[in-house]
Amino acid sequence: MMEDEASTTEYDPFAAFDHSIGVGHVRDPHATLAALRAETPVYAGRIDRVFGLPEMPIIMSSPDTKHFCALSYDAVSQVLLDGATFSSKGYATSMGLVMGHSILEMDEPEHRAYRGLIQQAFTLKAMEKWERDIVAPVVHACIDAFASRGRADLVRELTFPFPLQVIAAMLGLPEEDLPEFHRRAVELISIAVNIERGFAASQALRDYFAVQLAARRRDPRDDVISVLAHAELEGQRLEDEEIFAFLRLLLPAGAETTYRSSSNLLFGLLSNPEQLDALRRDRSLMKQAIEEGLRWEPPLTSIVRTATRDADVCGVSIPAGSVVGIAMGCANRDPARWPNPDAFDIFREQKPHVAFATGPHTCLGIHLARMETRVALDTLFDRLPGLRLDPAAEDVHITGLTFRAPRSLPVVFD
């Protein structure tokens, strides 16, 4: 277990993190972002200031550093596809302080080599096994707890807890460690809110994973930590600290985003009963429904890069050294690419979106996230006839700026 005095106080890292990302403060950023995008494909300035949020030092910069934010689909795509001009290394001076040297902050060719090693834990065979042995049982167990009740809060009782349980099972962690494990992971990504807790969480996770990794090196098991411990590519293997860095990243990257993307999709469906009914009747629509949910409300709306040289993005000059935000959520609603982009419509023409980024840093867990969401929805539809938004519920909505999700999804079923 990872326990100390700091973690047993009344401090709530989940509430602190939500506050920092605009939950309860920013309800719907899309109209404001659309107005900015209509003026320019690349905004000169900080988006957090536009919404009156405290500045989040996602990449540490000096007071005279220039800030930009790519807003249009073309601008976002250009930045993401040009890793030589727009580097990920800036994360080393912020999230890297607590994550360690992870894939998040790597450029080519280091990124390609490291990703090749990590991907060995995410094979198609592993995905099929996880679906059968982990994801489906976890989802069923969550639904078991409320299936006889006729009503539930799908966020609190399903979409929030199940991705965490899946990640922990993939890693082979004891179930009793999950609450503290989750707490530490959220404190880790809240470094800008409380730097001391961020560093303490980083060390606690490192110490915890060191015990787990040493056991897997001695006695490999059928889990992700064991694969990472023994992965080899062209004579290269992962050092312990590299594995710790990836494991620190995996929980917030996997559990947080899957919880939010599945919640957002369910909100879109529950708010559009005719589409919900169509999907319930015809599961062949599932793939396009999942992609529409990701396009319409991606769980993570923006990431950051640093310009390594002077650049021109869609006619906007960006000096070397500038911090460049990449507003994937705004790009996914660009009317130049999608007609009526603010509407949730699972029947719209399918086009690639950037919810998982694009280019070299496309999300490593893209297939896992889609699979988890598919299993969750299929199981809900199979087990809860007449699933619908609770008619007595008031003002159910998605909230947040950087990370977005509904706080609750009250439903009833037959």
Query: pLDDT confidence of 23, banded at 50, 70, 90?
Result: confident
Residue 219 lies in a domain: yes
Residue 192 lies in a domain: yes
Q: What global pTM score does this model have?
A: 0.92
Residue 413 lies in a domain: no
Residue 109 lies in a domain: no
pLDDT tens digit sequence for 334-346: 999 999 999 999 9
Residue 17 lies in a domain: yes
Mean pLDDT, residues 43-62 taken together? 73
On the question of pLDDT at 54 being above 70, the answer is: no
Q: Could you tell me the CATH number of the domain that includes residue 161?
A: 1.10.630.10
Percent of the chain past pLDDT 70, that is, above it, reads 93
Residue 408 lies in a domain: no
pLDDT tens digit sequence for 105-159: 999 999 999 999 999 988 889 999 999 999 999 999 999 999 999 999 999 999 9
Residues 61 and 321: their CA atoms lie apart, in Å, by: 9
pLDDT tens digit sequence for 2-13: 444 344 446 777
pLDDT at 387: 98
As a dihedral over the C-alpha atoms of residue 294, residue 298, residue 303, residue 307, rounded to 10 degrees, the angle is: 50
Residues 301 and 167: their CA atoms lie apart, in Å, by: 22
Q: Calculate ∠ Cα 339-366-328, nearest 5°.
A: 40
What is the number of structural domains in the chain?
A: 1
As a dihedral over the C-alpha atoms of residue 282, residue 153, residue 19, residue 31, rounded to 10 degrees, the angle is: 40
Residue 393 lies in a domain: no
Residues 103 and 114: their CA atoms lie apart, in Å, by: 7
Residue 74 lies in a domain: yes
On the question of pLDDT at 59 being above 90, the answer is: no
Residues 201 and 94: their CA atoms lie apart, in Å, by: 15
On the question of pLDDT at 58 being above 80, the answer is: no
180 or 370, which is more confident? 370
On the question of pLDDT at 179 being above 50, the answer is: yes
pLDDT at 339: 97
Q: What is the DSSP letter of 403?
A: B
Q: What tokens does 225 get?
A: 């930590």
Domain containing 298: what range?
5-103+114-385
